[in-house]
């Protein structure tokens, strides 16, 4: 009897553990496979679109004899190996023989009319990280617009947002709209890909396509979801994903944020910040062929020991940028035009130059952020 009770207890523990496992939208085949049968299907996906630990969503659909007519590739390519900002070329998937059409080759804003007429359903499956300047949602919304024009159904296989448990940063001033900022949302928007699509259509920021979101199961916005696959070459760790809202701002300055090292977005520095003990030397690697300050010793800060809880508490943290700005004493030459595209407003640069603290600057966006939080609630499909 005692042994039987022990077995029952162990079984209950296993069931409880399984019940808490987050299941991504791709695993809920009963919800979306009927929409794909006897239809011509295109897929917007990359290397993160895993149906299981062993099988990609494209391979599964091919195995299930779904009529796959094309694969659309976002930034970093279908297999996720292309460095940030680099052109992604058209190709053919060697495993399935399906044509790969790039949405990030420097020319293609949307597919041609002939391509759009070649499919009836678009399946979207990409792991986002929940930031306005992360480009996967932009590729999705461009395709949503195209699908609306041609009456194509959009099926989004949703995935958790690893930064989905908070919202922070200024709302994009649309005069800075670009390929790294597409919607009037904050830096950390707190939405999944499915939710941001619903918001974009609902607010009139995207055309009114027919969108079906296949939800994640056992997920809420308070879930701290660890990504099983790095979403892009320069976000190799969960910690880098958490620091990314703050350290990506260095991409709009003369400071290196670690491209060309083994710790991108977890360190920062510059050859002239010589009063620092920590050093690193960027060099070309798979994630960056021409990293800033390549081959030069950079002096700076190592953020790898910063606790995740501290990052979540601080949100979009301007202290790192202000620290480097004060050290280099370059004035406006510290910044590049990319800075406004990333932060989304013009006043942050001006306030840094004027000597304001991070807290003073961050207080400047709180009112509009609260208005966004109220708007966001209309489109949440997962509990807070």
pLDDT tens, residue by residue, 66-78: 999 999 987 766 8
Report pLDDT for 76. Answer: 60
Joined together, the tokens standing for residue 341 give: 């595209």
With 90 as the cut, is the pLDDT of residue 17 above it?
A: no
Q: Where does the chain hold its CATH 3.40.50.12170 domain(s)?
A: 25-214
What is the rounded end-to-end Cα distance, in angstroms, of the chain?
43
Closest alpha carbon to 233 in 253, 260, 255: 260
Report pLDDT for 83. Answer: 53
Report pLDDT for 346. Answer: 98
Provide long-range contacts, Cβ within 8 A and 24+ apart, for 105-113.
109/142, 110/142, 110/143, 110/145, 110/146, 111/72, 111/143, 111/146, 113/150
SS3 314: helix
Joined together, the tokens standing for residue 321 give: 């940028």
Residues 6 or more apart in contact with residue 173 via CB below 8 angstroms: 184, 344, 345, 346
Fold of 25-214: Rossmann fold (3.40.50)
With 70 as the cut, is the pLDDT of residue 48 above it?
A: yes
Confidence of residue 89 (pLDDT cuts 50, 70, 90): low
Confidence of residue 53 (pLDDT cuts 50, 70, 90): very high
pLDDT per position as a tens digit, 138-177: 999 999 999 999 999 999 999 999 999 999 999 999 999 9
With 90 as the cut, is the pLDDT of residue 4 above it?
A: no
> How far from 287 is each of 56, 57, 177, 195, 282, CA to CA, in Å?
22, 24, 26, 29, 11
With 70 as the cut, is the pLDDT of residue 131 above it?
A: yes
Cβ proximity of 132 and 169 under 8 Å: yes
pLDDT per position as a tens digit, 167-205: 999 999 999 999 999 999 999 999 999 999 999 999 999
Confidence of residue 105 (pLDDT cuts 50, 70, 90): low
Of 79 and 319, which is predicted with more confidence? 319
Average pLDDT taken over every residue of the chain: 92
Report pLDDT for 73. Answer: 84
Report pLDDT for 315. Answer: 97
Joined together, the tokens standing for residue 299 give: 């002096």
With 60 as the cut, is the pLDDT of residue 16 above it?
A: no
Closest alpha carbon to 111 in 67, 157, 69: 69
- Cα separation, 209 vs 223, in Å, equals 29
Helical ranges in 21-116 per DSSP H = 29-36, 57-63, 113-116
With 70 as the cut, is the pLDDT of residue 272 above it?
A: yes
With 60 as the cut, is the pLDDT of residue 7 above it?
A: no
Report pLDDT for 9. Answer: 41
pTM of this prediction?
0.91
Report pLDDT for 101. Answer: 86
SS3 36: helix
Running DSSP on this structure, what letter comes out for residue 267? Answer: E
């Amino acid at each position: 009897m005692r042994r039987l009770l022990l077995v029952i207890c162990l079984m209950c523990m296993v069931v409880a553990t399984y019940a808490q496992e987050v299941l991504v939208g791709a695993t809920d085949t009963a919800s979306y496979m009927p929409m794909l049968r006897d239809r011509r299907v295109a897929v917007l996906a990359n290397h993160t679109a895993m149906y299981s630990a062993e099988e990609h969503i494209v391979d599964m659909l091919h195995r299930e004899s779904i009529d796959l007519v094309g694969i659309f590739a976002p930034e970093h390519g279908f297999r996720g190996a292309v460095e940030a900002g680099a052109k992604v070329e058209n190709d053919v998937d060697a495993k399935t023989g399906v044509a790969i059409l790039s949405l990030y080759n420097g020319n293609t804003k949307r597919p041609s009319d002939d391509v759009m007429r070649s499919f009836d359903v678009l399946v979207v499956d990409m792991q986002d990280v929940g930031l306005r300047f992360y480009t996967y949602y932009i590729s999705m919304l461009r395709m949503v617009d195209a699908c609306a024009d041609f009456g194509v159904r959009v099926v989004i296989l949703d995935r958790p947002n690893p930064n989905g448990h908070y919202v922070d940063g200024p709302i994009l001033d649309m005069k800075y709209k670009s390929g790294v900022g597409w919607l009037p949302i904050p830096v950390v928007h707190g939405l999944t890909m499915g939710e941001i699509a619903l918001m974009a259509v609902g607010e009139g920021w995207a055309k009114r396509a027919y969108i079906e979101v296949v939800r994640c199961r056992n997920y809420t916005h308070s879930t701290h979801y660890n990504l099983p696959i790095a979403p892009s070459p320069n976000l190799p760790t969960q910690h880098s994903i958490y620091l990314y809202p703050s350290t990506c701002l260095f991409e709009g300055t003369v400071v290196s944020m670690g491209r060309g090292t083994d710790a991108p977005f977890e360190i920062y520095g510059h050859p002239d910040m010589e009063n620092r003990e920590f050093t690193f030397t960027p060099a070309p690697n798979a994630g960056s062929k021409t990293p800033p300050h390549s081959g030069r010793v950079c002096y700076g800060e190592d953020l790898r020991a910063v606790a995740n809880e501290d990052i979540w508490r601080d949100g979009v943290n301007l202290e790192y940028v202000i620290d480097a700005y004060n050290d280099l004493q370059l004035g406006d030459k510290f910044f590049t035009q990319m800075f406004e595209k990333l932060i989304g407003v013009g006043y942050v640069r001006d306030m840094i130059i004027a000597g304001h603290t991070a807290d003073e600057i961050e207080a400047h966006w709180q009112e509009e952020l609260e208005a966004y939080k109220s708007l966001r609630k209309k489109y949440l499909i997962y509990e807070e």
